[in-house]
Amino acid sequence: MRRAPSLRMIFVALVVSLAGPFHFGYQLLITNPAQRAFIRFFNDTLDSELHITASDSTLDKIWSFIVAVLFLGALVGSFSIRLIADKIGRKRGLYLSLGIGVVSATASLANKIFFFTFQIPSVLLYSCSRITVGYSTSLSLGLSALFLSESSPKECRGSIGMIIGMCVQLGILTGSILAMPQIFGTVQLWHMIYVAEIVMMITFLTFLPLLPETPGYLVQRGVLEAAKKSLMFYFNCNDEAAEVHLIHIKEEQKLLEDSHTMVDVMKAASLRRKTFVGIVVILAMSFSGITVINAYAVELLRSTGLTSLQASLANVAAVVSSMVVDKFGRRPLLLIAFSGCLICNVLIFSLLLYKVLGWILIAIVCLFTVFVAIGPGPLCYFITAELVGQSARSGAQSWASVAQMLSRFLTVIMFLPMKNSLGESWSYLLLFVLPIIVAIIFLYYHLPETKCRTAYEVSTCLFFKIFSYLSFKYHRSRSLFLHQSREYTDTQILGQTL
pLDDT at res. 179: 84
pTM above 0.75, yes or no: no
- Are the C-beta atoms of residues 324 and 370 closer than 8 Å to each other? no
Residue 358's nearest CA partner among 313, 310, 414 is 310
- What is the mean predicted confidence (pLDDT) over 448-463? 66
DSSP output for 107-150: HHHHHHHSTTGGG--HHHHHHHHHHHHHHHHHHHHHHHHHHHHH
Instruction: Report the C-alpha gap between 375 and 370 in whole angstroms.
Output: 9
pLDDT at res. 135: 93
Output Rg (C-alpha) for the chain, integer angstroms. Answer: 25
Whether 120 shows a pLDDT value over 60: the answer reads yes
pLDDT at res. 318: 41
Residue 381's nearest CA partner among 113, 138, 77 is 138
**Residue 412 in domain:** yes
Confidence of residue 198 (pLDDT cuts 50, 70, 90): very high
- What is the mean predicted confidence (pLDDT) over 175-195? 85
> Mean pLDDT lowest for which of 85-99, 436-450, 454-468?
454-468
Q: Looking at per-residue confidence, does 259 or 14 come out higher?
A: 14
Contacts of 16 (CB under 8 A, 6+ apart): 94, 144, 147, 148, 208, 211
Instruction: Report the C-alpha gap between 159 and 163 in whole angstroms.
Output: 7
51: left (phi over 0), alpha (psi -120 to 50) or beta: left
Instruction: Report the C-alpha gap between 177 and 313 in whole angstroms.
Output: 8
- What is the mean predicted confidence (pLDDT) over 221-236? 88
Confidence of residue 317 (pLDDT cuts 50, 70, 90): very low
Q: Looking at per-residue confidence, does 132 or 360 come out higher?
A: 132
Whether 392 shows a pLDDT value over 90: the answer reads no
Report the Cα–Cα distance between both ends of the chain, in Å, rounded: 69
Instruction: Report the C-alpha gap between 453 and 155 in whole angstroms.
Output: 8
Confidence of residue 452 (pLDDT cuts 50, 70, 90): low
**Residue 212 in domain:** yes
Residue 55 main-chain phi, psi, to 5 deg? -75, 170
**Residue 208 in domain:** yes
Per the structure, the count of domains in the chain is: 1
Confidence of residue 56 (pLDDT cuts 50, 70, 90): confident
Full residue range of the structural domain in which residue 34 is found:
7-468
Mean pLDDT estimate for the chain: 76
- Are the C-beta atoms of residues 230 and 215 closer than 8 Å to each other? yes
- What is the mean predicted confidence (pLDDT) over 266-291? 84
Classify residue 317 as exposed, middle or buried by CB count within 10 Å of its CB (0-12, 13-18, 19+). middle
Q: Looking at per-residue confidence, does 238 or 111 come out higher?
A: 238
Residue 136's nearest CA partner among 103, 185, 160, 169 is 103
- What is the mean predicted confidence (pLDDT) over 303-331? 50
Instruction: Report the C-alpha gap between 93 and 218 in whole angstroms.
Output: 14
Classify residue 55 as exposed, middle or buried by CB count within 10 Å of its CB (0-12, 13-18, 19+). exposed
- What is the mean predicted confidence (pLDDT) over 328-350? 83
- Are the C-beta atoms of residues 459 and 443 closer than 8 Å to each other? no
pLDDT at res. 96: 93
pLDDT at res. 167: 82
> Mean pLDDT lowest for which of 228-242, 254-268, 293-307, 343-357?
293-307
Displacement of CA 175 from its chain's centroid (Å)? 17
Whether 211 shows a pLDDT value over 80: the answer reads yes
**Residue 408 in domain:** yes
Q: Looking at per-residue confidence, does 49 or 23 come out higher?
A: 23
Confidence of residue 92 (pLDDT cuts 50, 70, 90): very high
**Residue 360 in domain:** yes
Residue 294's nearest CA partner among 26, 24, 28, 21 is 28
pLDDT at res. 324: 45
Displacement of CA 111 from its chain's centroid (Å)? 29
- The winner for highest mean pLDDT among 144-153, 372-381, 415-424 is 144-153
Confidence of residue 469 (pLDDT cuts 50, 70, 90): very low
> Mean pLDDT lowest for which of 94-108, 112-126, 341-355, 406-420?
112-126
Amino acid at 88: I
| DSSP annotation of 208 | G
- Are the C-beta atoms of residues 201 and 23 closer than 8 Å to each other? yes
pLDDT at res. 493: 47
C-alpha to C-alpha distances, 394 to 147, 208, 370, 384, 415, nearest whole angstrom? 10, 20, 30, 10, 31
> Mean pLDDT lowest for which of 97-111, 165-179, 449-463?
449-463
The count of residues in the chain is 498
CATH code, 32: 1.20.1250.20
- What is the mean predicted confidence (pLDDT) over 223-250? 87
- Are the C-beta atoms of residues 295 and 67 closer than 8 Å to each other? yes
Whether 358 shows a pLDDT value over 70: the answer reads no
Residue 307 main-chain phi, psi, to 5 deg? -80, 170
Instruction: Report the C-alpha gap between 464 and 458 in whole angstroms.
Output: 10
Q: Kind and range of the H or E element at 71?
A: helix 56-87
> Mean pLDDT lowest for which of 94-103, 139-148, 282-291?
282-291
Instruction: Report the C-alpha gap between 200 and 290 in whole angstroms.
Output: 25
**Residue 482 in domain:** no
pLDDT at res. 29: 75
Whether 497 shows a pLDDT value over 80: the answer reads no
| DSSP annotation of 286 | I
The CB density around residue 216, as the number of other CB atoms within 10 Å, is 24
**Residue 494 in domain:** no
**Residue 1 in domain:** no
pLDDT at res. 68: 80
Q: Kind and range of the H or E element at 33?
A: none
Confidence of residue 257 (pLDDT cuts 50, 70, 90): low
C-alpha to C-alpha distances, 173 to 24, 155, 170, 296, 331, nearest whole angstrom? 12, 29, 5, 15, 27
pLDDT at res. 490: 47
Helices (H), 179-329: 191-205, 215-221, 224-234, 239-255, 262-267, 269-285, 291-302, 308-317
